[in-house]
Amino acid sequence: MILQLEKGLAKEKLQQLVSKLSDNGFSTSEVQTQFNHYLVAIGKKEVDIRSIGQLEGVRDIHRVDDAYKLVSRKWRVHDTSIAFDNGVTIGRNSLSIVAGPCSIEGEAQTLKTIEHLNANGLRMMRGGVFKPRTSPYAFRGVGLNGLKEVSALCRANGTLLVTEVMQVSQVAEMHDYVDIFQVGTRNSQNFNLLDELGKAGKPVMIKRGFSGTIEELLNSAEYVFSAGNEKIILCERGIRTFETAYRNTLDLNAVPILKEKSHLPVFVDPSHGLGIRQFVGQMALAAVMAGADGVILEVHNCPERAMSDGQQTLDFTEAARLYGQLKATWELRNSFNGQF
Amino acid sequence: MILQLEKGLAKEKLQQLVSKLSDNGFSTSEVQTQFNHYLVAIGKKEVDIRSIGQLEGVRDIHRVDDAYKLVSRKWRVHDTSIAFDNGVTIGRNSLSIVAGPCSIEGEAQTLKTIEHLNANGLRMMRGGVFKPRTSPYAFRGVGLNGLKEVSALCRANGTLLVTEVMQVSQVAEMHDYVDIFQVGTRNSQNFNLLDELGKAGKPVMIKRGFSGTIEELLNSAEYVFSAGNEKIILCERGIRTFETAYRNTLDLNAVPILKEKSHLPVFVDPSHGLGIRQFVGQMALAAVMAGADGVILEVHNCPERAMSDGQQTLDFTEAARLYGQLKATWELRNSFNGQF
Amino acid sequence: MILQLEKGLAKEKLQQLVSKLSDNGFSTSEVQTQFNHYLVAIGKKEVDIRSIGQLEGVRDIHRVDDAYKLVSRKWRVHDTSIAFDNGVTIGRNSLSIVAGPCSIEGEAQTLKTIEHLNANGLRMMRGGVFKPRTSPYAFRGVGLNGLKEVSALCRANGTLLVTEVMQVSQVAEMHDYVDIFQVGTRNSQNFNLLDELGKAGKPVMIKRGFSGTIEELLNSAEYVFSAGNEKIILCERGIRTFETAYRNTLDLNAVPILKEKSHLPVFVDPSHGLGIRQFVGQMALAAVMAGADGVILEVHNCPERAMSDGQQTLDFTEAARLYGQLKATWELRNSFNGQF
Amino acid sequence: MILQLEKGLAKEKLQQLVSKLSDNGFSTSEVQTQFNHYLVAIGKKEVDIRSIGQLEGVRDIHRVDDAYKLVSRKWRVHDTSIAFDNGVTIGRNSLSIVAGPCSIEGEAQTLKTIEHLNANGLRMMRGGVFKPRTSPYAFRGVGLNGLKEVSALCRANGTLLVTEVMQVSQVAEMHDYVDIFQVGTRNSQNFNLLDELGKAGKPVMIKRGFSGTIEELLNSAEYVFSAGNEKIILCERGIRTFETAYRNTLDLNAVPILKEKSHLPVFVDPSHGLGIRQFVGQMALAAVMAGADGVILEVHNCPERAMSDGQQTLDFTEAARLYGQLKATWELRNSFNGQF
């Protein structure tokens, strides 16, 4: 059960609500986000929600029978969108395209990438500075100093930066240099990190665990929201199956299901979701037709020399052609008016 | 190694080729299809293929290093298409749409379905008369007599019939009443059935096993081809994974990969590949964008009363809207000229 | 609901029962096995089973709320055992060990294997004459003539033969030469084959599909039982997962669960369930501790020269050592008296 | 390539080695653990290891062609064991049994558990104070203060405490109150946490990710070792598959394979690996037969009232019976002398 509270509700009034709910067998969590004030009430008893909805301080009340609450579409029927100062909006009335290298390698590469994005009218760059690597001996990214450099270049060019955060202490360190925090597939259920990102307030893109269920992804988003942050993007990036002909099985079924279950924007990462450069374009287009609000692509000025993931990375020419196709596909889907 | 042989090659000439190859350490399989005559040679030794290609009776020779040979694109670079007497062609220059009920229920239903297809310019109907069911106590289909009735109605209306065959002895029994034999997901590696269908000559659509790899699907197609039948359609229909939010995980990654590895047409079945009626349309559109040559859809005049699979079956209104969207999507994809 | 019927029940009495059940909203299947006569009634309505149990001709009646009925332990609480003329009994008070080559290769190999089995006090040999192979160009077994030869040798030595049947028409052809029909993992849901084996009466060992659920395996067994054959063995042989360090993931969890859900004996095939010769012994022992009634092992006089599966096949020395360990492990487990 | 270095090697000597290796195309990582000093050299070039092994300061040198190095058995052939001050040793010549509740609930429960362990001659208790939970609204454990209480009780009774750590900052906070840090399945690839635990020096038990490969688990262990900590236990706890009849698929195949690939001790958690109380005992016994060095069990004075995981938790009577069976099984396995 979600109670939307009046703004500036006095503490004692809030306490009265909590008591009332407790008397009815509900435990409550107070959630204060950038935008709103909520009480999430969890309980098993039947209760007439009108009797609670009429109490002082309650703006609205909704029964939500999913395990996740605040990210559910059962109380917020309209799509959530996320607006940035530079005019970019994610999640409604436009297709978001995020592109850039797997790993940030330095200033020259970043400038080339930004130039490429600008030439194609794109405003969001991806690029990792902390890289989760299976082996401790592999390249782990340029780190915080690299981030600062890249961030300065992005800011100077009006480009938003999406980059992965790997642990709690990095949230504060990276905060001023990041526009969207990315939670990687291996941290999809790193609950402490999700909590911390909930407090940080900056937009968070959560990648689905490579063996995470759709419901687990929504619960991970619930961690961020319930810790205070409504700016969340969900991202499908491929799951692990028995098939070995490609790197991961891109689960496009997840797209319409996530859109149905949650009001949050849904992105797709076909680069990781397939792992084969030659077919990334087709799967990106398929993702848009499946209902994605955005795609995130690995793009590099010279994929053959990329420090990681070159085998699934597009070059600038391929990428530019794809952007146009993505927009045309998005427009066609849009012309169907949500009637499939 | 595949040797395409001259038409009408004398037996003794063929024997000379076999001996020559045997001397070089190759075992051979002679393959005589509706269209061509081949020798498939399997061996590990290095051999100069020109020395064999120049032998009498050899029209052309190709080295194919895949486990499957005749279905590989490594020797036949152009897409295979399958033409029917009623003018329908599968697999090149057009999107194939097959629609109809999961189970054939009787004459009235069939007539309604054919009328619906005709009204939408479609010429291929799906519908099962032998139904593989997990439980022996479930409805197992109307059987051979039902097939004969349905077939007569289809023929009278110029509609092609796609229906599932479950065992070797049914191949002969069903032969005259079927236009495309469907091999179901549970029989995807029923090698005796595949062999028999190879001899039957009629087009065969092989569904991927729900835990079959892409390579296994291609090997199953190789069974049909090597037994004498070049008219094969591959069909992705969802695989088993850990996710329980839907019936199967539709593996659209498989589409571009199958198209790359094989010259055979590739269909997608989003009805089984997802299992949720409400999202079938979006996934069908995604399949087209991923590169599918055709889609096969469960459609029923009244899904709520369907004898099987109602939960994933579109009604006629939903289906008709989707057909138009599929064509528009196919045209857009086509406009990209294969450059993704 | 299962009704055990009186032996020699008159047709009209049976018809009365069917009508009575039909009036109560149940559809019925008559099942006549080697041993008993049943009516399986499927319906959704609540009914007082005593009112039906008291009808003439009903020996006993049981409510079974599983999807499968006759193979469920809900009506038959004691373990089923299968006795052979040569004194061997499967499934109660003893551990069954089946051993032999993947593929039968000829008379000499068979004799060596039988000698090895005899020297170790074993009476059941495995060995395939029809081999399901992913590629049509691989060795497909010595076939029916090979079977006849092997069968004669087994009979002469009092050895039971377990061998795979791949299609309906082979059931009759093989019938006189086989002691236990094996249904391979790819045919685990070949419902026509299961039906035919139900009619054949000989013991049937059904391997779990490599992506088959436990419930599907039990339903496959229900096909055999409901077609007239109570002599069924279930066999866990490894499932497909994301792990690539071995051939299959042996699912020993399935053993106690199958034993709990069904009265049928449960075997384990560690050779396929792992695929690495060096560790087959440990997994066979683990299977016994998990509760298996028997193990089926690939054993060959010279694994390095085996025509198939050599990499997972034990030699005679390794196998002999393992047999003793298996018995010691079984005795230890038995000493726990089913109290874990 | 692993170089074991002389103790107290002078810095400049070390630098000479690094340079020499660099000249040969190897990048190096210096590793200083509780016990030894190593250089791990990664490179692709062929090099005569004797020429390097003879350099000053090198005690021994080993080529290791696995992705992981220090945890590989290719350079350390004997099993690693971990000794504690209270006389307990993990990993050689004895079976380790760890038992206790999923969640620590308070002092009374802890005392009952310790009493139960003592009565059964066990010295290691499991119990979580930080609980990773899918939903943010679920019980997240008693936290650091709870840990301090429990730790005091354990110390007073000579009981070692195994408990889960969830984030980097907790490593220092928990350090003085923990005997073995447990890394949970969701943190199996939390590389920052693994790094930190490598520096902490206390024994670490790493659970396999529920979709982690065996190779990934070994690489996670490599993070801990290469950061300075040789005291590592690997733990199989079930993986995600398509099967829904139980919570996870316990992968006992992993046990002999891990033992073969690595010198580290291998534990099995059958409570999570199956999730059904009734069958935990059998699977624990099977784990021992498969070669496990230890088992970790969920045990509670009253499973029905446990704050988490009650459905897979044994009561004290069941557990006590199992301990004896585990020892008998371990002794039987031991009597086979590693000859399977």
Q: Is A305 on the interface with D (CB under 8 A)?
A: no
Structure tokens at C326: 């298996």
pLDDT of residue A83: 96
Cβ-based contacts under 8 A for chains B and C: 85
Which of 225-284 (D) contact A at CB < 8 A? 226-227, 240
Mean pLDDT of the C124-144 span: 94
Is A134's CB within 8 Å of D240's CB?
Answer: no
Cβ-proximal residues to A15 (8 Å cutoff; 6+ apart), any chain? none
Structure confidence at residue A311 as a pLDDT band (50, 70, 90): very high
Say how many residues make up chain A.
Answer: 340
At residue D123, φ and ψ (nearest 5 deg) are -125, 5
Residues of chain D falling short of pLDDT 70: none
Distance of alpha carbon D3 from alpha carbon C97, whole angstroms: 48
The 10 Å CB-count burial string (b at 16+, else e) for D56-86 is ebbeebeebebbbbbbbbbbbeebbbbebee
C-alpha distance from residue C221 to each of B288, C88, C206, D105 (Å): 40, 22, 7, 45
Q: Is C111 on the interface with B (CB under 8 A)?
A: no
pTM (2 d.p.): 0.96
Distance from CA of D135 to the nearest CA of C (A): 26
Distance of alpha carbon B289 from alpha carbon D173, whole angstroms: 53
Mean pLDDT of the C57-83 span: 95
Cβ-proximal residues to A50 (8 Å cutoff; 6+ apart), any chain? none
Q: Report H helices in chain B.
A: 11-23, 49-53, 107-119, 143-157, 168-174, 191-200, 214-226, 254-261, 270-274, 277-290, 316-335
Cβ-proximal residues to D229 (8 Å cutoff; 6+ apart), any chain? D33, D34, D197, D198, D199, D200, D201, D202, D204
Query: Which of B40, B191, B193 to substitute to test the interface with C, most C CBs within 10 Å?
Result: B191
DSSP D138-197: S----HHHHHHHHHHHHHHHT-EEEEE--SHHHHHHHGGG-SEEEEPGGGTT-HHHHHHH
Look at residue A204 and give its three-state secondary structure: strand
CB atoms within 10 A of CB A152: 13
Cβ-proximal residues to D305 (8 Å cutoff; 6+ apart), any chain? none
CB atoms within 10 A of CB D330: 21
Q: Please report all neighbours of D, defined by 3+ CB atom pairs within 8 A.
A: A, B, C
Look at residue B223 and give its three-state secondary structure: helix
Helix axes B214-226, B254-261, angle to 10 degrees: 40
Q: Which of C241, C249, C340 sits opposite D281 (nearest CB)?
A: C340
pLDDT digit string (tens) for chain B, length 340 residues? 999 999 999 999 999 999 999 999 999 999 999 999 999 999 877 788 888 888 999 999 999 999 999 999 999 999 999 999 989 999 978 899 999 999 999 999 999 999 999 999 999 999 999 999 999 999 999 999 999 999 999 999 999 999 999 999 999 999 999 999 999 999 999 999 999 999 999 999 999 999 999 999 999 999 999 999 999 999 999 999 999 999 999 999 999 999 999 999 999 999 999 999 999 999 999 999 999 999 999 999 999 999 888 999 999 999 999 999 999 999 999 999 888 7
Running DSSP on this structure, what letter comes out for residue A224? H
Q: Which of C213, C276, C291 sits opposite D245 (nearest CB)?
A: C213
pLDDT of residue A51: 85
pLDDT value at C251 more than 90: yes
Structure tokens at A266: 């849904």
The chain C residue lying nearest A248, using CA atoms, is C242
pLDDT of residue D69: 97
Distance from CA of D285 to the nearest CA of C (A): 6
Q: Which of C213, C274, C321 sits opposite D253 (nearest CB)?
A: C274
CB atoms within 10 A of CB D50: 8
pLDDT of residue A39: 96
What's the pLDDT tens digit per position in D114-139? 999 999 999 999 999 999 999 999 99
Whether the CB-CB separation of B96 and B294 falls below 8 Å is answered with yes
Is D219's CB within 8 Å of A135's CB?
Answer: yes
pLDDT of residue A338: 83
Q: Is C217 on the interface with D (CB under 8 A)?
A: no
D67 neighbourhood in chain C, CB within 8 Å: none
pLDDT of residue B340: 79
Is A241's CB within 8 Å of C244's CB?
Answer: no
Is D279's CB within 8 Å of C256's CB?
Answer: yes
Question: What interface predicted TM-score (ipTM) does this complex get?
Answer: 0.95
Among D139, D80, D105, D57, CA closest to D294: D80
pLDDT value at C63 more than 80: yes
Is A226's CB within 8 Å of D137's CB?
Answer: yes
Structure tokens at D86: 């209270």
pLDDT of residue C320: 97
pLDDT value at A158 more than 90: yes
pLDDT of residue B44: 79
pLDDT of residue C282: 97
Q: Which of A67, A132, A167 sits opposite D135 (nearest CB)?
A: A67
Q: Is D54 on the interface with C (CB under 8 A)?
A: no
Q: Please report all neighbours of A, defined by 3+ CB atom pairs within 8 A.
A: B, C, D
Burial of B338 (0-12, 13-18, 19+ CB in 10 A): exposed
Q: Which residue has the tokens 């099993």?
A: D79
Distance of alpha carbon A270 from alpha carbon A249, whole angstroms: 10
Distance of alpha carbon A2 from alpha carbon A6, whole angstroms: 13
Cβ-proximal residues to B324 (8 Å cutoff; 6+ apart), any chain? none
Q: Please report all neighbours of B, defined by 3+ CB atom pairs within 8 A.
A: A, C, D
Look at residue B59 and give its three-state secondary structure: strand
Is D191's CB within 8 Å of A166's CB?
Answer: yes
What domains, with CATH codes, occur in chain D? 2-62 (3.30.70.1140), 82-335 (3.20.20.70)
pLDDT value at A314 more than 90: yes
A30 neighbourhood in chain D, CB within 8 Å: none
Whether the CB-CB separation of C174 and C196 falls below 8 Å is answered with no
Whether the CB-CB separation of A307 and A139 falls below 8 Å is answered with yes
Among B284, B275, B293, B277, CA closest to B334: B293
Cβ-proximal residues to D299 (8 Å cutoff; 6+ apart), any chain? D99, D100, D101, D113, D116, D313, D314, D315, D316, D319
Structure tokens at B174: 């069903």
Mean pLDDT of chain C: 95
Distance of alpha carbon A31 from alpha carbon A194, whole angstroms: 15
Q: Is C39 on the interface with B (CB under 8 A)?
A: no
Q: Report H helices in A177-245.
A: 191-200, 214-226
What's the farthest any 2 CA atoms get from each other in chain B?
Answer: 64
C-alpha distance from residue A156 to each of A107, A152, A162, C17, D110 (Å): 13, 6, 16, 86, 58
pLDDT of residue B51: 85
D209 neighbourhood in chain C, CB within 8 Å: none
* CA R_g for chain C: 21
Mean pLDDT of the C274-292 span: 97
In chain A, what percentage of residues exceed pLDDT 90? 92
Is D219's CB within 8 Å of A134's CB?
Answer: yes
Structure tokens at C264: 């049928």
DSSP A108-135: HHHHHHHHHHHHTT--EEE-BSS---SS
